[in-house]
């Protein structure tokens, strides 16, 4: 096998250091994705004439909801034996340090965030936000349907920079060799997803600009869930399993968790038919 035919991929996980604190590509991509989502959400609130007092608390709800949900999703669904079988494991769910083999503790960041858990955490956070602000539920969900694709794109770019969630061995000419993992050419599944989510974001945004009165019907929330997680379901066939227990399953954990979200998305699209949103 001629490795010169493929894309060599071995970036540092760290962009730079602030003193002894490493600033990682993964965290930075999350930050950029959330920031872009935040500013676009702010624009939507202003465009549809919602007061700043209803928008202001949203970021904190979303930030903590997504982070806690994504972290718990990874720990519960992918590595329960690592995080749930000891007090040390439970402690490191939300504390970004880990005990090393020599007994010392090292800052490692949050290595392990699951997108399905992030969606669940987001929905719970939005429920709490809506209770506080009395916003229309479907308006908020549609706003998130419009902006979420761009955030998802940057999260997957973070996975690419981390050389994680790698694809299966392949001989396609655009294969990546993730030298931080092994020396085999593999599908860059993270890049497939990042490109797909960017396209989905642009598609939903185009539809929104053409039909802004559909905000509040569930159409954009439904399109977001259906398109993203349908793509996610099929792209899983190009990925290596993340944990050994998935080898015994007919479909992997990512696909199992995608099915209810696809169903919710389809239902949201169907309920939006013939409706217009109730906006101020």
Q: What is the mean pLDDT of the chain?
A: 86
Q: What is the pLDDT of residue 107?
A: 60
Q: What is the pLDDT of residue 83?
A: 67
Q: What is the pLDDT of residue 46?
A: 94
Cα–Cα distance, 113 to 177 (Å, whole number): 23
Token pair belonging to 187 = 């599908």
Residue range 190-202, pLDDT digits in tens: 999 999 999 999 9
Cα–Cα distance, 249 to 75 (Å, whole number): 19
Residues sharing a CB contact under 8 Å with residue 93, sequence separation 6 or more, in sequence order:
71, 72, 75, 83
Token pair belonging to 115 = 């997108």
What are the boundaries of each domain within the chain?
Answer: 3-271
Tell me whether strands 176-178 and 185-186 are parallel, antiparallel or unpaired. antiparallel
* Nearest Cα to Cα of residue 200 among 158, 153, 249, 248: 153
Annotated binding residue 156: yes
- Cβ 145 vs Cβ 204: under 8 Å: yes
* Residue located via tokens 């894309």: 7
**Alpha-carbon distances, residue 57 vs 37, 54, 208 (angstroms):** 15, 7, 24
* Residue located via tokens 């479909």: 251
In this prediction the pTM is: 0.83
Q: What is the pLDDT of residue 72?
A: 77
* Nearest Cα to Cα of residue 153 among 205, 206, 115, 185: 115
């Amino acid at each position: 096998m001629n490795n010169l035919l493929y894309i060599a991929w071995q970036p540092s996980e760290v962009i730079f250091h602030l003193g002894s604190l490493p600033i990682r590509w993964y965290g930075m991509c999350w930050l950029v994705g959330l920031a872009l989502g935040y500013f676009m959400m702010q624009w939507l609130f202003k465009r549809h004439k919602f007061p700043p007092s209803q928008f202001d608390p949203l970021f904190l709800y979303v930030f903590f909801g997504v982070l806690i949900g994504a972290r718990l999703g990874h720990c519960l669904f992918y590595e329960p034996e690592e995080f749930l079988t000891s007090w040390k494991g439970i402690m490191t769910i939300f504390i970004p340090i880990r005990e090393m083999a020599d007994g010392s503790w090292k800052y490692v960041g949050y290595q392990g965030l699951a997108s399905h858990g992030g969606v669940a955490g987001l929905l719970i956070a939005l429920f709490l936000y809506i209770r506080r602000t009395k916003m229309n539920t479907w308006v908020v969900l549609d706003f998130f349907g419009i902006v979420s694709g761009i955030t998802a794109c940057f999260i997957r770019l973070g996975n690419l920079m981390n050389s994680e969630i790698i694809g299966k061995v392949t001989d396609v000419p655009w294969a990546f060799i993730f030298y931080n993992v092994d020396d085999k050419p593999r599908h860059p599944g993270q890049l497939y997803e990042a490109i797909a989510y960017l396209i989905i974001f642009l598609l939903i945004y185009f539809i929104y600009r053409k039909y802004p009165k559909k905000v509040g019907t569930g159409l954009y929330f439904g399109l977001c869930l259906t398109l993203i997680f349908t793509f996610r379901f099929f792209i899983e066939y190009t990925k290596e399993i993340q944990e050994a227990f998935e080898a015994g399953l007919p479909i992997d954990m990512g696909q199992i968790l995608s099915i209810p979200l696809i169903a919710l998305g389809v239902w949201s699209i169907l309920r939006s038919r013939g409706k217009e949103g109730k906006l101020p």
